[in-house]
Structure 1
Amino acid sequence: MSEAEVFEVLRAHIWAAAMMAMPILVATLIVGFAIGLLQALTSIQEITLTFIPKILVVVIVFFLSLGYMTRICLDLFNNSVLPLIAR
């Protein structure tokens, strides 16, 4: 296995990890922004107000996007790992 192949496999795995994390990160960003805006508009400065909605959104989005994440893992395994094993 050459150095270029190692870097290509590493790049594919990092890209897959970023694509799997994307739905959760985007949902958390949107909820955090909305709660921050609400806190700024109403002058409610409760620190713990942001934690519960973000945790709930992360859990809900995780379960909704579980099929998407599984498909990315399977595609990565079939297109990247299996050809290296088959050699």
Structure 2
Amino acid sequence: MNEADVYAIFADSIWATLIASGPVLAVATIVGLGIAFFQALTQIQEMTLTFVPKIAAIFVAIVASAPFMYATLSQLSDTVFDLIVSGGQ
């Protein structure tokens, strides 16, 4: 195993993390923007209004995308464990 292989594993790890967290981050961004627009239109500046819907939406997104996140991270871990078993060759 050389430096290029280690770099490839790190790059795959970063991509798998970004892909697995993407759906939850997208939901949080969309809900946050929707709440911000609602607050700007109605001039309601209540702090709890931003947290409660966003937390609920993130929880639903985590539950809904859990199989996708598991499959992505499982594929990465299978690849890494196969490299460990083969001795990095």
TM-score of the superposed pair, with normalisation by structure 1: 0.93
SS in 1 for 2:37: helix
Amino acid at match of 1:83: D
In 1: Cα distance, 2:13 partner to 2:28 partner: 23
In 2: Cα distance, 1:42 partner to 1:49 partner: 12
Which residue does 2:85 correspond to in 1? 86
RMSD of aligned Cα (Å): 0.9
In 2: Cα distance, 1:12 partner to 1:34 partner: 33
Q: Count residues with an aligned counterpart.
A: 86
User: 1:42-57 counterparts in 2 under 5 A?
Assistant: 42-57=42-57
In 2: Cα distance, 1:85 partner to 1:43 partner: 57
For structure 1, the residue ranges without an aligned partner over 5 or more in a row are none
In 2: Cα distance, 1:54 partner to 1:24 partner: 11
Amino acid at match of 2:33: F
- Post-superposition Cα deviations, 1:33-87, rounded to whole Å, max 9, x if no partner, equal 0000000000101122100011001111001100001110121122x21331122
Percent identical among aligned pairs is 38
1:13 matches 2:10: no
